[in-house]
Structures are given as C-alpha cells and as structure tokens.
Amino acid sequence: MIERTLVLLKPDAVQRGFMGEILTRFERAGLKIVGMKMVWVDKDFSKQHYEEHVEKGFYPGLESMITEGPVLALVLEGVEAIGTVRKMVGSTEPKAAAPGTIRGDYAHVSYGYADTKNIGVKNLIHASANAEDAQKEVALWFASQELHTYKTVHDVHIL
C-alpha cells in the first residue's frame, strides 16, 4: 500500500518559479520526498523516459520541451501515492484539467494550440501513471543510494 512514484517538475515549472509551490502541495498532503535532484536531460534520455511516445506525432515537440532546461526530479512516497499524485496533477491537457489540480491551477493551454505551434503541451509536471511505470521510472532516474528512508511527522498519523 505504501508506494513510490516518480515526479518531474518540467522545465516550464522550473522557469516559472513554481518548484516551491508545487513541492508545498505534496508536503501538505503528507507525501514524503524520498529523492530529489535537478537534472538537465539530453535527447537520448528523453527517448528512454518517453519510450511509449517516441513514435507519436507530438514527440519532437515533447522532446524539445523536456530538454530545454533542467527539471526537478522527485520520488514521492505515501499510501497509494501513484494514484494520489496523478489526482493532484490533473488531466494531461491543461485546458481540461480541473481547478484545484496542479495543471488546472497553473496552466491553461490546449492540445490544439500546442499542435499548431508544434510544441509539447506545457503542463508543468510528469507523474508515473501506474505501478509498472513507477518502478521503471524511479529506477531510470535515481540510483538506490539517492533514495532515502526516514521518518516524518506524518508517519505517526498514517501508520
């Protein structure tokens, strides 16, 4: 039931100065940050991370977007963290993302707009979609010695 999930604050979130605000949301929800680092990925790494999308029409725009600056990579841990974090992140298309979600509160663009410009839709954040992806993505982004096991004040409330 305690899961780990990979989260990336994408270059648009870093450049817009939203790292702190977004981290605060996760900390307030009681999720534990067990890994965190800034990484500027290259095209090869993008293809590994976005393996499922490489053949898609929007991939070139997605690749330029994810490689245009550093990302903040995080591993979050908590009860059913994978689904909880996806819920907090909101729908992929900012136009469709509900208010109260990270994408709904900090972005508004549509697929239609991104596609006319040939850019990846700038939606601030990536979060693993399911348990299989989470395991694969955490291992891709973090070495085991970069992940930490420690107690937070939230633990007494959830264990």
Nearer of residues 14 and 127 to Mg ion, judged by Cβ = 127
Nearer of residues 67 and 152 to Mg ion, judged by Cβ = 67
Mark whether 126 is an active-site residue.
yes
Region of 16-24, 26-34, 38-46, 58-66 interacting with ligand IDP (CB under 6 A):
58-66
Phi and psi (nearest 5°) for 88? -70, -30
CA neighbor of 103 nearest in space, from 6, 25, 5, 3: 25
78 contacts ligand IDP (rule: CB under 6 A): no
46 contacts ligand IDP (rule: CB under 6 A): no
Q: Give helix 81-89 / helix 19-28 axis angle, nearest 10°.
A: 130
- Residues 157 and 30 sit within 8 Å (Cβ to Cβ): yes
- Residues 101 and 91 sit within 8 Å (Cβ to Cβ): yes
State which amino acid sits at residue 84.
T
**CA 85 to chain CA centroid, nearest Å:** 9
Which partner in ligand IDP, Mg ion, none is near 59 (CB below 5 to 8 A by kind)? none
Nearer of residues 67 and 152 to ligand IDP, judged by Cβ = 67
Which residues carry out catalysis?
126
Report the interface residues with ligand IDP, using CB under 6 A.
53, 58, 61-62, 92, 111, 114-115, 120-121, 123, 126, 129
